[in-house]
Structure 1
Amino acid sequence: MSLKIYHNPRCSKSRQTLNMIEEAGSPVEVRLYLDEPLSAAEIKELLEKLNLTDARALMRRTEAIYKELGLKSETDQAALIKAMAKHPKLIERPIVVKGNAAILGRPPENVQKFL
Structure 2
Amino acid sequence: MPQPLAIVVGDRFPVGERMYRLTPRLAQSTSAARSVLIDVAQHREVITYGELSDAIGRSVLPRHMGPLLSMIDHDCAARDEPGLAALVVSAATGEVGTSDDSWAAPQRLACWERWGGAPR
Structure of higher RCO (CA pairs closer than 8 Å, 6+ residues apart) = 1
Instruction: Determine which structure has the larger strand proportion and give its number.
Output: 1
Superposition TM-score, scaled by structure 1 size: 0.29
